[in-house]
Chain A
Amino acid sequence: MFAAPRKLSLADWGERHLQLQQAGRREPFYGGPLRRHVELEKDFRLEQLQFDNSPAALRLWNFFLTENSRLHQARTAGDKIVGTMKDLGTVPVMAYALPGVRAFYPDGAWWTPCLMECSDKLLQQAAAMGVDASFCPVRAMLPAFENGEHFPKPELIICSTGAVCDDFSAIAQRLEHRGHPVFWWEIPRRRAPAVGETSCELPGKLLAPRSQVEAVRAELQRVADALGQLAGKSLGDSALTDGIRAANHIRQILADLRQAVYSAPAAPLPALEMLIAEMLAIHFCSDRPEAGLVLGELLAEAQRRMQQNQFVLPPDAVRIFWVNPVADLRAMNLLEDVGGRLCGTDFMFSHALDLIPESLPPLEALARTALADPMVGPASDRAKRIIRECQTYDAEAVVISRIPGASHCAREGESIREMVRQELGIPVVEMEIPPVCDAMLPTMTSRLEALVETARNKAKGLKPNSL
């Protein structure tokens, strides 16, 4: 059943799936050959990706690509569906603390056109609704809410407001105006405590004034009340404590997976699968217990490969730290095609990877976690964490990808680049990756090749005439 690690095309995965079936591999209810996602749901982009060949990766992809159908099944079974937007990792922990409630991430619908290329027309439909390409690809959620062809319409949509990006905010307001039930809660911009002001420690080695934590805690109490009302059951401390513990269980697996893969002498798993795995932290891909099992199997695969000294990439691949999620998944394959490997990430939701403090009252702990969101604080805080992790994982270069139209911080990339260069002296490249990057592929390839070349020469300590 286990094979030497390598990357497969979608076509090759068909044969591999057959082999796994013949070898007696039992798949979960959402399992099956990957190609069906192209045939049934027109995810044409899958045909251009390279996938890890492990059964664990197959499970990960099938879990990821069946989210909408699993949500519909859950609705049919009577579960309440809650769309949680922008906070990326706090409200879902609360929602899953209630039995019969599932949280999902509608502004993650931009992933749909990423996978579906242009066949789905969500972005074009968004433009027809007045939200054009000057907005972030999260605009895909607007037509997805309207046409109901993707996720089921949620009973409740919970959106954070305040220190959130303009694009998201505008689109979420448009949704509310079109009659969708939005519950708003406010998150302030995180600031450093003033001299003499009582401060609180947040996950990720951050500090915030006590007053901000209290304000967010009060807001999250309102969220808890709204969720309780929806579920017909109060969301109290006991349920929240259990929910936090369950979320931390998954965060711990993910932390172990990141540690194993990013610190390994060579890459036991490819960058693309790591990106998808990390994304599960935000809302557990709509099934918390199953997300834990999927990640657990992936971790076991990484550990097995490391024990057997088997890697998916050569050991001389350049160690790259990647900042921000990509709008076209091919970029992660491309990184490896040009001789790089992932050795750390900051996909804008690092607070969803940190363990939620279990020694604090649950709402206090969640408030501190929400305030640790990299998007609600200054870019310098984010850069400091990136620098720490680059040091931990011995990064040789950094890629900062940008999503066209995303406006959460137009100058953030430059700030991070300057700080990383100053502190670490390693090359940093910024590049824009559009949702369908075909026209940009030569440029992207050239930049990544140049980055790998530069880092490789630097590591060898070569003089320019010794290439």
Chain B
Amino acid sequence: MLCAGIDAGSRSIKAVLLDTDTGKILAAGVSDQGVEQERLATELFDKILFEAGLERAQISGVIATGYGRNAIRFADTTITEITCHARGVHQLAPETRTIIEIGGQDSKVISLENGGRVRDFAMNDRCAAGTGRFLEMVATRLNMNWSTLSELAHQSQKPALISNMCVVFAETEIIGLLAEGKPLADVVAGVQKAIATRVAALAGRSVASPVYFTGGVALQPGMARALEEVLACPVGVVSQPQFTGALGAAVLAGERAARNNL
């Protein structure tokens, strides 16, 4: 059976086409989020269908997740990103007990029970200091490509201390650090550590292992290292971490379609 998951996140839309019988991802795509969410999601969906050589009529079920999920009217139903990320990560790494998901504008820590069911979760409040937006701001300020930040951070000898818990004020702080002549690598590593610290605070006192890191920010290898240092435990990164929400939605769409066919 062929199913799709659409993750309409705050910064980007992700879509996954899944063969639920084999568990193989047939196609996946990402596009920037915008005002016309449904049009953007439709275009992305059609694009990955085309890439996979499929047509809509061949798709047995579509589930939308993410902040913009209710705008995706072509989906059969919606499920929250907490459940979808949990399902997506469980599909890729069934042993997972804690998921750290850092997206463009929010971060989440999801605790899983044995078997992958969500036990509990925590999400950041309105400040963007623990999210990918912080890294985006730094990349823009440093006139760098977002994806090269990690390489730079890896060269750091002594990460700078970013004391501000607010992205706006942290930007001022970063300008000050650079003006003082602080190495660029130390500043970027400091930002990664600040994000990791913020996310670790969300996790509370006990983090059950194994811990997996997902979401778009997990594409930066330096972030996983920063999380490992703060949490004092190994942090794995699932493959294609930006797609776990959409993948979970596709898996759930398959299960829903199978139940409906019974």
List chain A positions with a Cβ less than 8 A from chain B: 414, 417-418, 421, 425, 427-432, 440, 442-443, 446-447, 449-450, 453-454, 457-458, 462-467
**Residues of A close to B81: CB separation below 8 A:** 446, 450
Residue B205 at the A interface, CB < 8 A? yes
| B83: chain A residues within 8 A (beta carbon) | 450, 453-454, 457, 467
Instruction: List 10 contacting pairs A-B, 8 Å CB cutoff, sorted by A.
Output: A417-B204, A418-B205, A428-B120, A443-B106, A446-B81, A454-B119, A457-B117, A462-B117, A465-B255, A467-B252
Task: Return chain A residues, CB-CB under 8 Å to B251.
Answer: 465
Q: Is the CB of B67 within 8 A of A464?
A: no
Residues on B with C-beta less than 8 A from A449 are 80
* Closest Cβ–Cβ distance, residue B244 to chain A (whole Å): 13
B118/A457 in contact, CB under 8 A: yes
B108 to chain A, nearest CB (A): 9
A444 to chain B, nearest CB (A): 10
Of all A-B residue pairs in the complex, the 4 with the closest CB atoms, nearest first, are A450-B82, A450-B80, A464-B116, A427-B120
User: In the complex, which residues of chain A have a beta carbon less than 8 angstroms from the beta carbon of B67?
Assistant: 442-443, 446
* Contact present for B121 and A446 (CB under 8 Å): no
Which residues of the other chain, B, contact A418 by a CB distance below 8 angstroms? 204-205
Give min CB distance, B103 to chain A, whole Å.
12
Q: What 1/0 flags go to B106-143 for Cβ under 8 Å of A? A: 10000000011111111101100000000000000000
Known: A418-B205, A449-B80, A450-B82. A464 touches B121 (CB 8 A): no
B115 touching A464, Cβ below 8 Å: yes
Does B87 have its Cβ within 8 Å of any Cβ on chain A?
yes
Distance in angstroms between the alpha carbons of A74 and B105 in the assembled complex: 52
- Are B118 and A443 in touch, CB under 8 angstroms? no
- In the complex the two chains form, what is the Cα distance from A454 to B81 in whole Å? 11
Q: Smallest CB–CB gap between B76 and chain A, Å?
A: 13
Bound-state CA distance A449–B81 (Å) is 10
Distance A431 CA – B106 CA, assembled complex (angstroms): 13
**Contact-size category for B:** 20 to 34
Answer yes or no: B40 CB below 8 A from chain A CBs: no
Contact of B118 among A430, A454, A465 (CB under 8 A): A454
| In the complex, B86 has a CB within 8 A of chain A | yes
Q: Which residue in chain A gives the minimum CB-CB distance to B252?
A: A467
Query: Is the CB–CB distance between B126 and A454 below 8 Å?
Result: no
Within 8 A of A (CB), among B58-92: 67, 79-83, 86-87, 90
What is the CA–CA distance of A425 and B90 in the complex, to the nearest angstrom?
20
Contact status A463-B115, CB under 8 Å: yes
Chain A residues within 8 Å of B80, by CB: 446, 449-450, 453
User: Across the interface, which residues of B come within 8 angstroms of A453, CB to CB?
Assistant: 79-80, 82-83, 118
Q: Which residue of B lies closest to A448 (CB)?
A: B80
Contacts of A414 in B (CB 8 A): 204
How far, in whole Å, are A285 and B120 apart by their CA atoms in the complex?
38
* Cβ–Cβ contact A454 & B115, under 8 A: no
CA distance in complex: A270, B119 (Å): 27
A414 to B200, CA, bound (A): 13
Q: Tell me how far the C-beta of A407 lies from the nearest C-beta in chain B, rounded to whole angstroms.
A: 16
B255 partner residues in chain A, CB cutoff 8 A: 465-467
Q: Which residue of B lies closest to A464 (CB)?
A: B116
CA distance A49 to B244 in the complex (A): 36
Q: How far is the CA of A172 from the CA of B189 in the complex (A)?
A: 45
Q: How far is the CA of A367 from the CA of B23 in the complex (A)?
A: 66
Docked pose: A82 CA to B7 CA in angstroms: 56
Q: A449-B80, A467-B87 are in contact. List 15 more A-B contacts (CB 8 A).
A: A421-B120, A429-B121, A431-B125, A432-B125, A442-B67, A443-B106, A443-B126, A446-B81, A453-B83, A464-B86, A464-B87, A464-B90, A464-B118, A465-B251, A467-B79
The SS class assigned to the A binding surface is: helix
Main secondary structure of the interface of B (DSSP, over half): mixed
Partner of A432, one of B106, B120, B126, B205: B126
In contact, B119 and A427 (Cβ under 8 angstroms): yes
Min CB distance, A252 to chain B, in Å? 36
A450 with B117, Cβ < 8 A, contacts A417-B204, A432-B126, A464-B90 known: no
B47 within 8 A of A: no
Taken together as a complex, chains A and B put the C-alpha atoms of A462 and B115 apart, in Å, by 10
Per-residue CB contact flags for chain B residues 194-225 toward chain A (1 = under 8 Å, else 0) read: 00000000001100000000000000000000
Contact of B117 among A421, A446, A458 (CB under 8 A): A458
Residues of B within 8 A of A429 (CB): 121-123
Q: Indicate if B256 sits at the interface (CB-CB under 8 A).
A: yes
A106 to B113, CA, bound (A): 47
Tell me, rounded to whole Å, the shortest Cβ–Cβ distance linking B39 to chain A.
Answer: 19
Query: B residues within 8 A CB of A458?
Result: 117-119
Tell me if A463 and B117 are in contact (CB < 8 A). Answer: yes
Looking across the interface, which residue of chain B has its beta carbon closest to that of A454?
B118
User: In the complex, how many angstroms separate the beta carbon of A425 from the nearest chain B beta carbon?
Assistant: 7
A447–B82 CA distance with the chains assembled, in angstroms: 9
**What residue of chain A has the Cβ atom nearest to residue B78's Cβ?**
A449
- Complex Cα gap A318–B79 (Å): 16
Q: In the assembled complex, how far is the CB of residue A21 from the closest CB belonging to chain B, in whole angstroms?
A: 39
Scoring B83, B115, B120, B256 by chain A CB atoms within 10 A of each residue's CB, the highest score goes to B120
Residues of B near A466 (CB, < 8 A) are 255
| Minimal beta-carbon separation of A320 from chain B (angstroms) | 14
CA distance A418 to B92 in the complex (A): 29
The answer for the CA separation of A133 and B188 in the assembled complex, in Å, is 32
In the complex, A430→B120 CA distance in Å?
11
Q: How far is the CA of A465 from the CA of B88 in the complex (A)?
A: 11
Residues from chain B with Cβ under 8 Å of A425 in the complex: 119
**Closest A-chain residue to B116, C-beta based?**
A464
Nearest residue (CB) in B for A425 is: B119
Name which of B80, B204, B205, B251 has the most chain A CB atoms within 10 A of its CB: B80
In the complex, chain A residues whose CB is within 8 Å of the CB of B121: 427, 429, 450, 454
Interface centre among B86, B123, B256 (most CB of A within 10 A): B123
Contact B82 A454 (CB under 8 A): yes
Please name all residues of chain A whose beta carbon is closer than 8 Å to the beta carbon of B82 when the two chains form the complex.
450, 453-454
Chain A positions within 8 Å of B86 at CB level: 464
Instruction: Tell me which residues across on chain B come within 8 A of A463, comparing CB atoms.
Output: 115-117
A-chain residues with CB within 8 Å of residue B126 when the two chains form the complex: 432, 440, 443
Shortest distance from the beta carbon of A464 to any chain B beta carbon, whole Å? 4
Complexed CA–CA distance, A430 and B106 (Å)? 15
A447 contact set on B, CB distance < 8 A: 123
Residues of A within 8 A of B256 (CB): 467
Q: How far is the CB of B21 from chain A (nearest CB, A)?
A: 14
Across-interface contacts of B106 in A (CB, < 8 A): 443
Interfacial chain B residues near A457, Cβ < 8 Å? 83, 117-118
Q: How far is the CA of A413 from the CA of B215 in the complex (A)?
A: 27
